[in-house]
Chain A
Amino acid sequence: MKLLVTGADNALGECAVRHFSVEHEVKAAGREEDFRDPVVAASLVEGVRAVLHLDGYSADGSQAEFELLDFSARGTYVLMHAARDAEVGRVVVGSTLGFFEDYPEDYVINEDWRPLPKPDAVSLSPLMVELTAREFAREGGIEAVCLRFGLLDDSGTPEAEAMKAIEEALKLKFNRHSYRWGLFHVHSDGGRFTTMMKTSPLRMKEQQAD
Protein backbone atom coordinates (compact mmCIF):
# COMPACT_ATOMS: atom_id res chain seq x y z
CA MET A 1 0.00 0.00 0.00
CA LYS A 2 1.19 3.51 -0.74
CA LEU A 3 1.10 5.75 2.35
CA LEU A 4 1.74 9.41 2.99
CA VAL A 5 3.23 10.23 6.40
CA THR A 6 3.18 13.87 7.50
CA GLY A 7 5.16 15.00 10.50
CA ALA A 8 8.08 12.95 9.23
CA ASP A 9 10.37 15.30 11.14
CA ASN A 10 8.79 14.72 14.56
CA ALA A 11 9.34 11.70 16.78
CA LEU A 12 6.09 9.96 15.89
CA GLY A 13 6.38 10.61 12.16
CA GLU A 14 10.00 9.46 12.02
CA CYS A 15 9.04 6.27 13.77
CA ALA A 16 6.11 5.70 11.40
CA VAL A 17 8.25 6.22 8.32
CA ARG A 18 10.75 3.64 9.59
CA HIS A 19 8.08 1.17 10.60
CA PHE A 20 5.80 1.31 7.58
CA SER A 21 8.58 1.50 4.99
CA VAL A 22 9.30 -2.17 5.65
CA GLU A 23 6.09 -3.36 4.03
CA HIS A 24 4.67 -0.32 2.29
CA GLU A 25 5.67 2.40 -0.11
CA VAL A 26 5.94 5.50 2.07
CA LYS A 27 6.02 9.14 1.08
CA ALA A 28 7.51 11.12 3.96
CA ALA A 29 6.57 14.77 4.39
CA GLY A 30 8.14 16.98 7.03
CA ARG A 31 7.50 20.66 7.55
CA GLU A 32 9.66 21.44 4.54
CA GLU A 33 6.86 20.03 2.41
CA ASP A 34 4.50 22.92 2.89
CA PHE A 35 1.15 21.24 2.30
CA ARG A 36 -0.67 24.46 3.01
CA ASP A 37 -0.09 24.92 -0.69
CA PRO A 38 -2.88 23.02 -2.48
CA VAL A 39 -0.52 22.09 -5.31
CA VAL A 40 1.94 20.53 -2.87
CA ALA A 41 -0.87 18.77 -1.02
CA ALA A 42 -2.32 17.36 -4.24
CA SER A 43 1.07 16.09 -5.26
CA LEU A 44 1.63 14.45 -1.88
CA VAL A 45 -1.66 12.54 -1.84
CA GLU A 46 -1.51 11.45 -5.46
CA GLY A 47 -1.80 7.67 -5.65
CA VAL A 48 -1.79 7.07 -1.89
CA ARG A 49 -4.30 4.74 -0.22
CA ALA A 50 -4.02 6.30 3.22
CA VAL A 51 -2.61 9.37 4.92
CA LEU A 52 -0.94 9.19 8.31
CA HIS A 53 -1.32 12.83 9.32
CA LEU A 54 1.06 12.86 12.25
CA ASP A 55 2.20 16.46 11.97
CA GLY A 56 -0.02 17.53 14.84
CA TYR A 57 1.44 15.09 17.36
CA SER A 58 4.06 17.49 18.60
CA ALA A 59 4.44 21.15 17.82
CA ASP A 60 7.85 22.72 17.51
CA GLY A 61 7.81 25.36 20.22
CA SER A 62 10.57 27.31 18.52
CA GLN A 63 8.21 28.23 15.70
CA ALA A 64 6.35 31.52 15.79
CA GLU A 65 2.81 31.24 17.14
CA PHE A 66 1.40 32.45 13.84
CA GLU A 67 3.20 29.73 11.91
CA LEU A 68 2.28 27.00 14.39
CA LEU A 69 -1.43 27.73 14.28
CA ASP A 70 -1.50 28.33 10.55
CA PHE A 71 0.35 25.13 9.73
CA SER A 72 -1.83 23.05 12.03
CA ALA A 73 -5.19 24.44 10.95
CA ARG A 74 -4.72 25.48 7.35
CA GLY A 75 -2.28 22.68 6.64
CA THR A 76 -4.80 20.11 7.83
CA TYR A 77 -7.61 21.81 5.93
CA VAL A 78 -5.73 21.83 2.63
CA LEU A 79 -4.36 18.32 3.11
CA MET A 80 -7.76 16.87 3.99
CA HIS A 81 -9.31 18.58 1.00
CA ALA A 82 -6.63 17.12 -1.25
CA ALA A 83 -7.09 13.67 0.29
CA ARG A 84 -10.84 13.79 -0.21
CA ASP A 85 -10.49 15.01 -3.78
CA ALA A 86 -8.03 12.21 -4.49
CA GLU A 87 -10.44 9.69 -2.93
CA VAL A 88 -7.95 8.61 -0.29
CA GLY A 89 -9.95 6.16 1.75
CA ARG A 90 -8.45 6.57 5.17
CA VAL A 91 -6.74 9.24 7.23
CA VAL A 92 -5.10 8.48 10.56
CA VAL A 93 -4.62 11.61 12.62
CA GLY A 94 -1.89 11.62 15.25
CA SER A 95 -2.61 13.73 18.30
CA THR A 96 -1.54 14.02 21.89
CA LEU A 97 -2.66 12.97 25.34
CA GLY A 98 -0.98 16.13 26.58
CA PHE A 99 -4.45 17.70 26.40
CA PHE A 100 -5.31 16.06 29.70
CA GLU A 101 -2.38 17.12 31.88
CA ASP A 102 -4.49 19.61 33.79
CA TYR A 103 -7.00 17.08 35.03
CA PRO A 104 -6.21 15.82 38.55
CA GLU A 105 -3.71 12.97 38.42
CA ASP A 106 -6.09 10.49 40.03
CA TYR A 107 -8.71 10.91 37.31
CA VAL A 108 -9.12 8.09 34.84
CA ILE A 109 -9.33 9.69 31.39
CA ASN A 110 -10.85 8.09 28.34
CA GLU A 111 -12.06 9.55 25.05
CA ASP A 112 -15.22 10.88 26.68
CA TRP A 113 -13.23 13.60 28.42
CA ARG A 114 -12.96 17.04 26.95
CA PRO A 115 -9.44 18.13 25.98
CA LEU A 116 -8.01 20.92 28.09
CA PRO A 117 -5.23 22.41 26.00
CA LYS A 118 -3.26 25.22 27.52
CA PRO A 119 -3.86 28.72 26.18
CA ASP A 120 -0.82 28.84 23.95
CA ALA A 121 -0.11 28.02 20.32
CA VAL A 122 1.94 24.89 21.05
CA SER A 123 -0.84 23.28 23.04
CA LEU A 124 -3.65 24.52 20.78
CA SER A 125 -2.06 23.30 17.55
CA PRO A 126 -2.98 19.62 17.89
CA LEU A 127 -6.51 20.65 18.83
CA MET A 128 -6.74 22.65 15.60
CA VAL A 129 -5.67 19.53 13.71
CA GLU A 130 -8.27 17.35 15.44
CA LEU A 131 -11.14 19.80 15.05
CA THR A 132 -10.41 20.41 11.39
CA ALA A 133 -10.06 16.73 10.50
CA ARG A 134 -13.20 15.94 12.48
CA GLU A 135 -15.26 18.29 10.32
CA PHE A 136 -14.16 16.53 7.14
CA ALA A 137 -15.28 13.23 8.60
CA ARG A 138 -18.54 14.78 9.76
CA GLU A 139 -19.27 16.11 6.32
CA GLY A 140 -18.42 12.87 4.54
CA GLY A 141 -16.24 11.62 1.75
CA ILE A 142 -13.46 10.52 4.05
CA GLU A 143 -12.99 8.24 7.06
CA ALA A 144 -10.62 9.30 9.77
CA VAL A 145 -9.26 7.70 12.92
CA CYS A 146 -7.69 10.01 15.47
CA LEU A 147 -5.17 8.44 17.83
CA ARG A 148 -3.93 10.32 20.86
CA PHE A 149 -0.50 9.28 22.04
CA GLY A 150 1.58 9.97 25.12
CA LEU A 151 5.32 10.49 24.99
CA LEU A 152 6.90 7.77 22.90
CA ASP A 153 8.51 5.90 25.77
CA ASP A 154 7.58 3.40 28.45
CA SER A 155 5.99 6.11 30.59
CA GLY A 156 3.63 7.04 27.80
CA THR A 157 3.13 5.18 24.54
CA PRO A 158 6.03 2.89 23.60
CA GLU A 159 6.87 3.12 19.91
CA ALA A 160 5.83 -0.44 19.20
CA GLU A 161 2.44 0.17 20.77
CA ALA A 162 1.99 3.37 18.78
CA MET A 163 2.80 1.64 15.50
CA LYS A 164 0.48 -1.24 16.31
CA ALA A 165 -2.35 1.21 16.95
CA ILE A 166 -1.74 2.93 13.61
CA GLU A 167 -1.75 -0.44 11.85
CA GLU A 168 -5.09 -1.22 13.46
CA ALA A 169 -6.45 2.19 12.54
CA LEU A 170 -5.55 1.56 8.93
CA LYS A 171 -7.47 -1.72 8.96
CA LEU A 172 -10.46 -0.51 10.95
CA LYS A 173 -13.78 -1.15 9.23
CA PHE A 174 -16.33 1.62 9.41
CA ASN A 175 -19.98 0.71 9.29
CA ARG A 176 -21.46 2.72 6.46
CA HIS A 177 -24.49 3.50 8.64
CA SER A 178 -22.39 4.83 11.49
CA TYR A 179 -19.61 7.29 12.23
CA ARG A 180 -16.86 8.31 9.86
CA TRP A 181 -14.67 9.45 12.76
CA GLY A 182 -12.99 7.28 15.36
CA LEU A 183 -11.09 8.56 18.38
CA PHE A 184 -8.89 6.40 20.59
CA HIS A 185 -6.32 6.89 23.33
CA VAL A 186 -3.13 4.88 23.02
CA HIS A 187 -1.19 4.66 26.27
CA SER A 188 0.62 1.98 28.22
CA ASP A 189 -0.65 3.24 31.56
CA GLY A 190 -4.12 1.74 31.83
CA GLY A 191 -4.57 3.47 35.18
CA ARG A 192 -4.47 7.06 34.06
CA PHE A 193 -5.53 6.81 30.44
CA THR A 194 -8.05 4.27 29.30
CA THR A 195 -9.62 3.70 25.95
CA MET A 196 -13.04 2.92 24.61
CA MET A 197 -11.59 0.75 21.84
CA LYS A 198 -13.87 -2.09 22.97
CA THR A 199 -17.02 -0.12 23.65
CA SER A 200 -17.04 2.58 20.98
CA PRO A 201 -19.34 1.97 18.01
CA LEU A 202 -16.22 1.14 16.00
CA ARG A 203 -15.08 -1.51 18.49
CA MET A 204 -11.49 -1.32 17.38
CA LYS A 205 -10.34 -4.11 19.70
CA GLU A 206 -13.11 -6.48 18.62
CA GLN A 207 -12.28 -5.95 14.99
CA GLN A 208 -8.67 -6.72 15.82
CA ALA A 209 -9.80 -10.04 17.28
CA ASP A 210 -11.82 -10.86 14.17
Chain B
Amino acid sequence: MASIYSGRVCIFGAGGPVAASAAQSLKNDYELRLTDLRDVSEILKSEPQSKGAPMPVVPESPHEWRCVDVTDYEEVRSAAEGMDALINATVLRPDPVLAFHVNLIGAYNVIKAAVDCGITRIIHTGPRHTRLNHEGDYWYDFDISDDAPLHPGTDLYALTKYLGGNVVRVFAEAHKLEVVTFLYCGFNSGDGGDLKDGSGIGPFFTSWEDTGEAFRYGLRTTKLTQPYEVFDIVANLPHGKYSSAKAERLLGWKPKDNFERLYKSKAGNAEE
Protein backbone atom coordinates (compact mmCIF):
# COMPACT_ATOMS: atom_id res chain seq x y z
CA MET B 1 0.00 0.00 0.00
CA ALA B 2 1.36 3.38 -1.02
CA SER B 3 2.04 5.71 1.87
CA ILE B 4 2.56 9.26 0.68
CA TYR B 5 4.86 11.00 3.16
CA SER B 6 6.21 13.48 0.64
CA GLY B 7 5.96 14.22 -3.05
CA ARG B 8 3.54 16.02 -5.30
CA VAL B 9 -0.14 16.35 -4.52
CA CYS B 10 -2.77 17.96 -6.70
CA ILE B 11 -5.80 19.45 -4.98
CA PHE B 12 -8.95 20.08 -7.02
CA GLY B 13 -11.31 22.69 -5.66
CA ALA B 14 -8.46 24.55 -3.95
CA GLY B 15 -10.49 27.73 -3.68
CA GLY B 16 -12.87 26.25 -1.13
CA PRO B 17 -12.39 26.23 2.64
CA VAL B 18 -11.84 22.48 3.03
CA ALA B 19 -9.05 22.54 0.46
CA ALA B 20 -7.64 25.77 1.91
CA SER B 21 -7.47 24.06 5.27
CA ALA B 22 -5.84 20.99 3.70
CA ALA B 23 -3.25 23.07 1.83
CA GLN B 24 -2.30 24.84 5.04
CA SER B 25 -1.63 21.50 6.72
CA LEU B 26 0.21 19.91 3.81
CA LYS B 27 2.33 22.74 2.46
CA ASN B 28 5.44 22.01 4.51
CA ASP B 29 5.70 18.35 3.54
CA TYR B 30 4.34 18.21 0.01
CA GLU B 31 4.67 20.07 -3.25
CA LEU B 32 1.14 21.20 -3.98
CA ARG B 33 -0.55 21.87 -7.29
CA LEU B 34 -3.60 23.85 -6.25
CA THR B 35 -6.34 23.96 -8.86
CA ASP B 36 -9.67 25.68 -9.10
CA LEU B 37 -11.91 27.07 -11.80
CA ARG B 38 -10.90 30.59 -10.82
CA ASP B 39 -7.52 32.10 -10.14
CA VAL B 40 -6.63 32.53 -6.49
CA SER B 41 -6.43 36.32 -6.88
CA GLU B 42 -10.05 36.38 -7.99
CA ILE B 43 -11.16 34.05 -5.19
CA LEU B 44 -9.50 36.28 -2.62
CA LYS B 45 -11.70 39.17 -3.68
CA SER B 46 -14.77 37.29 -2.45
CA GLU B 47 -16.01 36.73 1.09
CA PRO B 48 -15.29 33.49 2.98
CA GLN B 49 -17.92 30.81 2.51
CA SER B 50 -18.98 31.34 6.12
CA LYS B 51 -17.67 33.29 9.07
CA GLY B 52 -14.26 31.91 10.05
CA ALA B 53 -13.97 29.64 7.00
CA PRO B 54 -10.40 29.48 5.69
CA MET B 55 -9.51 31.20 2.45
CA PRO B 56 -6.79 29.99 0.09
CA VAL B 57 -3.46 31.78 0.06
CA VAL B 58 -1.37 32.72 -2.94
CA PRO B 59 1.07 29.82 -3.22
CA GLU B 60 4.80 30.31 -3.13
CA SER B 61 7.30 28.06 -4.91
CA PRO B 62 7.49 25.10 -5.05
CA HIS B 63 3.72 25.19 -4.84
CA GLU B 64 1.69 26.41 -7.77
CA TRP B 65 -1.84 27.49 -8.66
CA ARG B 66 -3.46 26.32 -11.87
CA CYS B 67 -6.89 27.17 -13.24
CA VAL B 68 -8.64 23.88 -14.00
CA ASP B 69 -12.24 23.20 -14.93
CA VAL B 70 -12.93 19.88 -13.22
CA THR B 71 -15.69 19.16 -15.73
CA ASP B 72 -13.11 19.15 -18.55
CA TYR B 73 -11.33 15.80 -18.61
CA GLU B 74 -8.27 16.97 -20.52
CA GLU B 75 -7.65 19.77 -18.05
CA VAL B 76 -8.04 17.39 -15.13
CA ARG B 77 -5.73 14.82 -16.64
CA SER B 78 -3.10 17.42 -17.42
CA ALA B 79 -3.21 18.64 -13.82
CA ALA B 80 -2.91 15.08 -12.52
CA GLU B 81 0.17 14.18 -14.55
CA GLY B 82 3.30 13.76 -12.46
CA MET B 83 1.42 13.72 -9.16
CA ASP B 84 1.81 11.17 -6.37
CA ALA B 85 -1.70 11.70 -5.00
CA LEU B 86 -4.89 13.56 -5.82
CA ILE B 87 -7.35 15.31 -3.53
CA ASN B 88 -10.79 16.12 -4.82
CA ALA B 89 -12.40 18.82 -2.71
CA THR B 90 -14.58 20.24 -5.47
CA VAL B 91 -18.20 20.92 -4.74
CA LEU B 92 -21.01 22.95 -6.17
CA ARG B 93 -24.25 23.16 -4.28
CA PRO B 94 -27.21 25.15 -5.53
CA ASP B 95 -27.03 25.20 -9.34
CA PRO B 96 -29.28 22.47 -10.80
CA VAL B 97 -27.03 21.92 -13.81
CA LEU B 98 -23.53 22.56 -12.50
CA ALA B 99 -24.13 20.49 -9.37
CA PHE B 100 -24.27 17.41 -11.62
CA HIS B 101 -21.35 18.56 -13.70
CA VAL B 102 -19.02 19.29 -10.80
CA ASN B 103 -20.12 16.76 -8.17
CA LEU B 104 -20.72 13.79 -10.49
CA ILE B 105 -18.82 14.32 -13.73
CA GLY B 106 -15.99 16.11 -11.94
CA ALA B 107 -15.59 13.11 -9.65
CA TYR B 108 -15.58 10.85 -12.71
CA ASN B 109 -12.90 12.94 -14.36
CA VAL B 110 -10.63 13.02 -11.32
CA ILE B 111 -10.80 9.28 -10.67
CA LYS B 112 -10.39 8.47 -14.34
CA ALA B 113 -7.36 10.75 -14.52
CA ALA B 114 -5.92 9.00 -11.47
CA VAL B 115 -6.21 5.65 -13.25
CA ASP B 116 -4.81 7.00 -16.51
CA CYS B 117 -1.85 8.57 -14.68
CA GLY B 118 -1.14 5.54 -12.50
CA ILE B 119 -2.00 7.34 -9.26
CA THR B 120 -3.41 5.04 -6.59
CA ARG B 121 -3.89 7.28 -3.52
CA ILE B 122 -6.83 9.62 -3.85
CA ILE B 123 -8.69 11.53 -1.19
CA HIS B 124 -12.29 12.14 -2.14
CA THR B 125 -14.60 14.38 -0.11
CA GLY B 126 -18.31 14.73 0.40
CA PRO B 127 -21.07 15.49 2.86
CA ARG B 128 -22.57 13.34 5.59
CA HIS B 129 -25.91 15.06 5.63
CA THR B 130 -27.65 14.72 8.94
CA ARG B 131 -31.01 16.30 8.33
CA LEU B 132 -32.55 15.79 4.92
CA ASN B 133 -36.16 15.76 5.97
CA HIS B 134 -37.10 12.24 4.96
CA GLU B 135 -37.37 9.00 6.91
CA GLY B 136 -34.21 7.43 5.52
CA ASP B 137 -31.75 10.09 6.59
CA TYR B 138 -30.75 8.70 10.03
CA TRP B 139 -31.76 11.96 11.70
CA TYR B 140 -33.40 10.16 14.63
CA ASP B 141 -30.82 7.35 14.78
CA PHE B 142 -27.74 6.83 16.94
CA ASP B 143 -24.44 4.97 16.61
CA ILE B 144 -24.32 5.72 12.90
CA SER B 145 -21.29 4.00 11.41
CA ASP B 146 -18.90 5.64 8.95
CA ASP B 147 -19.91 2.81 6.62
CA ALA B 148 -23.64 3.45 6.89
CA PRO B 149 -24.76 3.97 3.28
CA LEU B 150 -25.69 7.52 2.43
CA HIS B 151 -29.37 8.13 1.78
CA PRO B 152 -29.39 11.51 0.10
CA GLY B 153 -33.01 11.66 -0.92
CA THR B 154 -33.60 14.23 -3.61
CA ASP B 155 -31.53 17.03 -2.08
CA LEU B 156 -29.53 18.33 -5.03
CA TYR B 157 -26.22 18.70 -3.24
CA ALA B 158 -26.50 15.45 -1.28
CA LEU B 159 -27.66 13.41 -4.28
CA THR B 160 -25.06 14.66 -6.74
CA LYS B 161 -22.21 14.08 -4.30
CA TYR B 162 -23.65 10.63 -3.55
CA LEU B 163 -23.65 9.76 -7.24
CA GLY B 164 -20.09 11.03 -7.58
CA GLY B 165 -19.04 8.91 -4.61
CA ASN B 166 -20.57 5.83 -6.21
CA VAL B 167 -18.62 6.47 -9.40
CA VAL B 168 -15.40 6.79 -7.43
CA ARG B 169 -16.17 3.58 -5.54
CA VAL B 170 -16.70 1.64 -8.78
CA PHE B 171 -13.36 2.85 -10.15
CA ALA B 172 -11.59 2.15 -6.86
CA GLU B 173 -12.84 -1.42 -6.71
CA ALA B 174 -12.21 -2.17 -10.37
CA HIS B 175 -8.70 -0.74 -10.41
CA LYS B 176 -7.71 -1.61 -6.83
CA LEU B 177 -7.08 1.99 -5.89
CA GLU B 178 -6.64 3.37 -2.39
CA VAL B 179 -9.39 5.92 -2.11
CA VAL B 180 -9.85 7.63 1.21
CA THR B 181 -13.23 9.37 1.39
CA PHE B 182 -13.76 12.05 3.98
CA LEU B 183 -17.31 13.00 4.93
CA TYR B 184 -18.09 16.26 6.66
CA CYS B 185 -21.16 18.10 7.81
CA GLY B 186 -20.74 21.32 9.81
CA PHE B 187 -17.62 23.33 10.50
CA ASN B 188 -16.56 25.87 13.05
CA SER B 189 -13.29 27.32 14.22
CA GLY B 190 -11.64 25.27 16.93
CA ASP B 191 -12.52 27.72 19.70
CA GLY B 192 -16.17 27.77 18.69
CA GLY B 193 -15.94 31.24 17.20
CA ASP B 194 -18.48 33.76 18.40
CA LEU B 195 -20.84 31.16 19.81
CA LYS B 196 -21.62 31.57 23.49
CA ASP B 197 -20.76 29.01 26.15
CA GLY B 198 -23.48 26.43 26.41
CA SER B 199 -25.14 27.49 23.19
CA GLY B 200 -25.02 23.90 21.91
CA ILE B 201 -23.60 22.24 18.82
CA GLY B 202 -24.94 19.72 16.33
CA PRO B 203 -23.83 16.09 16.36
CA PHE B 204 -21.49 16.35 13.33
CA PHE B 205 -19.12 19.28 13.54
CA THR B 206 -15.41 19.56 12.82
CA SER B 207 -13.01 22.38 13.45
CA TRP B 208 -11.39 23.90 10.43
CA GLU B 209 -8.00 23.14 11.96
CA ASP B 210 -8.77 19.43 12.35
CA THR B 211 -10.28 19.34 8.87
CA GLY B 212 -6.95 20.19 7.26
CA GLU B 213 -4.89 17.88 9.42
CA ALA B 214 -7.00 14.86 8.43
CA PHE B 215 -5.60 15.07 4.91
CA ARG B 216 -2.05 14.48 6.12
CA TYR B 217 -3.20 11.26 7.77
CA GLY B 218 -5.24 10.30 4.73
CA LEU B 219 -2.17 10.48 2.54
CA ARG B 220 0.02 8.50 4.92
CA THR B 221 -2.15 5.67 6.17
CA THR B 222 -1.26 2.07 5.37
CA LYS B 223 -4.24 0.57 7.14
CA LEU B 224 -7.02 0.85 4.59
CA THR B 225 -9.18 -2.25 4.54
CA GLN B 226 -10.95 -1.71 1.21
CA PRO B 227 -10.37 0.20 -2.04
CA TYR B 228 -12.95 2.86 -1.13
CA GLU B 229 -12.74 3.60 2.56
CA VAL B 230 -15.14 6.11 4.08
CA PHE B 231 -14.38 8.14 7.18
CA ASP B 232 -16.53 10.51 9.14
CA ILE B 233 -14.20 13.41 9.91
CA VAL B 234 -15.95 14.62 13.00
CA ALA B 235 -15.07 16.05 16.39
CA ASN B 236 -15.31 13.78 19.38
CA LEU B 237 -18.79 14.86 20.40
CA PRO B 238 -20.83 13.11 23.07
CA HIS B 239 -24.21 12.95 21.32
CA GLY B 240 -23.81 9.24 20.52
CA LYS B 241 -24.60 9.66 16.82
CA TYR B 242 -21.29 9.95 14.93
CA SER B 243 -17.78 9.00 15.91
CA SER B 244 -14.17 9.63 14.96
CA ALA B 245 -13.22 6.11 16.11
CA LYS B 246 -12.71 4.64 12.65
CA ALA B 247 -10.53 7.54 11.58
CA GLU B 248 -8.49 7.17 14.75
CA ARG B 249 -8.11 3.43 14.18
CA LEU B 250 -7.21 3.39 10.49
CA LEU B 251 -5.74 6.83 9.91
CA GLY B 252 -4.32 7.73 13.28
CA TRP B 253 -6.16 11.06 13.02
CA LYS B 254 -7.70 12.31 16.22
CA PRO B 255 -9.66 15.54 16.48
CA LYS B 256 -8.08 18.10 18.76
CA ASP B 257 -11.04 20.46 18.96
CA ASN B 258 -14.13 19.00 20.54
CA PHE B 259 -16.23 22.06 21.34
CA GLU B 260 -16.74 21.30 25.03
CA ARG B 261 -17.56 24.88 25.90
CA LEU B 262 -20.45 24.80 23.46
CA TYR B 263 -22.11 21.62 24.68
CA LYS B 264 -21.45 22.23 28.38
CA SER B 265 -23.72 24.54 30.30
CA LYS B 266 -22.42 27.85 31.56
CA ALA B 267 -22.11 26.27 34.98
CA GLY B 268 -20.14 23.36 33.55
CA ASN B 269 -17.75 25.72 31.84
CA ALA B 270 -17.31 27.76 35.00
CA GLU B 271 -16.26 24.67 36.98
CA GLU B 272 -13.23 24.10 34.76
Contact = CB atoms under 8 A, between A and B. Distances in A.
A135 B174 contact: no
Contacts of A135: 151-154, 159, 162
Given A66-B105, A70-B105, A138-B153, A117 B71 contact: no
A73 interface: yes
Interface stretch (A123-131, A152-160, A193-201): A123-131
Contacts, number: 75
Interface string B132-173: 001110000000000000011110100110110011001101
Contacts of A131: 162-163, 166
Interface stretch (B96-104, B202-210, B253-261): B96-104
Contacts of B263: none
B159 A121 contact: no
Q: Contact residue range for chain A? A: 20 to 34
A69 B151 contact: no
Contact of B108 (A38, A74, A121): A121
A99 to B, nearest CB: 10
B193 to A, nearest CB: 33
Given A81-B154, A135-B154, A135-B159, A128 B134 contact: no
Given A136-B154, A139-B154, A74 B170 contact: no
Contacts of A128: 104, 163, 166
A73 B104 contact: yes
Given A70-B100, A135-B159, A127 B152 contact: no
Secondary structure dominating the interface of A:
helix
Given A78-B96, A124-B170, A128-B163, 17 more contacts: A66-B71, A66-B73, A69-B100, A69-B104, A69-B105, A70-B101, A70-B105, A116-B170, A117-B170, A119-B111, A127-B166, A131-B162, A132-B159, A132-B163, A135-B159, A139-B153, A139-B154
Interface of B: 71, 73, 96-97, 100-101, 104-105, 108, 111-112, 115, 134-136, 151-154, 156, 159-160, 162-163, 166-167, 170-171, 173-175
Interface of A: 36, 38, 65-66, 69-70, 73-74, 77-78, 80-81, 116-119, 121, 124, 127-128, 131-132, 135-136, 138-140
17 contacts: A65-B105, A65-B108, A66-B105, A69-B100, A73-B104, A77-B156, A77-B159, A81-B154, A118-B174, A119-B111, A127-B166, A131-B166, A132-B163, A135-B154, A135-B159, A139-B134, A139-B154
